[in-house]
Chain A
Amino acid sequence: MSELLNGSVPLEAYLLLAAVLFCTGVWGLINSRNAVRVLMSIELMLNAVNINLMAFSSYVDGDLIRGQVFAVFVITVAAAEAAVGLAILLSLYRNRVTVDMERFNLLRW
């Protein structure tokens, strides 16, 4: 807390922000009924993880900024995930003419 008084941003602030963003993403992932919004929630969660990685890289890792390298890889995987996810979504929409998650229930017991 002494860091907050002398004006610089403490590491915990970044961690708390990432926690807020991650929990928002989890809630949206569970509760969205639009399939596109589910994909957006996943992107929010990935961004929260990236904020954590970058904060640790900057505050703890010093000269070796391994967190930034990991963040670059996470961004790569997120781009691939978005492309495949949206292609699956289009294919689903073509077959069922809806984006309602509640009606994608072919594998439900």
Chain B
Amino acid sequence: MTIAASTQLICFLVLAAVVAIGGLGVVLLSNIVYSAFLLGGVFMAVAGLYLLLNASFVAAAQVLVYVGAVNVLILFAIMLVNKREDLAPIPGLQTRRLLSGGVCAGLFALLVRVALTTPWAVPGPQAVGEGSTVRIGEHLFTDYLLPFELASVLLLMAMIGAIVLARRDVQATDLGTGQAADQGLIEKSRTPLLVDQPPS
């Protein structure tokens, strides 16, 4: 069952506006907290687009993983590093912005041309519609079994890697013997190692 066509069109236009304007807001707003919340809005709108495309499982995964995990992780990172700092002005910033804007506009023109001139094979075969979740499950456990298992290994590696990277290396007491660690090591781990001189 699909939604009636005109309702579908209106939903698409609203969601597309949210995605495009929200994406611009994420990039352009000066307050990073607003950017993070807008990013959550963009993720929700993209999940809505997936629902329009009859992909309920991926829409649910998008909400759970992106809004529930990635966005919350980004908010935590902002809270941990959110220090008001005045960014030192660098020479040629405006030129760089204009140049990269030109490059992105060129890329956009290229993508638009490809999207509009390629003779896509539409209408393709009849879409599977509501049975997509069952079909994804069949794919994951038959012909995509190896990537599925590799994804689990990748997630384990990412989890261990994130823990190793983010923890402080020196513990106050030795984990094996329970004795107090060398005080010099603790001091060394507390002080930042690579602070450069503030630009004068």
| A residues adjacent to B (C-beta < 8 A) | 4, 6-17, 19-28, 30-37, 39-41, 43-44, 47, 50-51, 54-55, 57-66, 68-69, 71-73, 75-84, 86-91, 93-100, 102-103, 106
Contact = CB atoms under 8 A, between A and B. Distances in A.
Contact of B53 (A58, A73, A97): A58
A25 B39 CA distance: 12
Interface of B: 5-6, 8-9, 12, 16, 19-20, 23-24, 26-27, 32, 35-36, 39, 42-43, 46, 49-50, 52-55, 57-58, 61-62, 65-66, 69-70, 73-74, 76-78, 80-81, 83, 85, 87-88, 90, 96-97, 100-101, 103-105, 107-108, 111-112, 115-116, 120-128, 132, 135-136, 139-140, 144, 147, 151, 154-155, 157-159, 161-163, 165-166, 168, 192-196
Contacts of B65: 75-76, 78-79
22 contacts: A11-B120, A23-B107, A32-B27, A36-B74, A40-B36, A44-B27, A59-B120, A62-B125, A62-B126, A65-B127, A68-B132, A69-B140, A72-B58, A75-B66, A81-B158, A82-B74, A83-B158, A83-B161, A86-B162, A87-B165, A87-B166, A93-B80
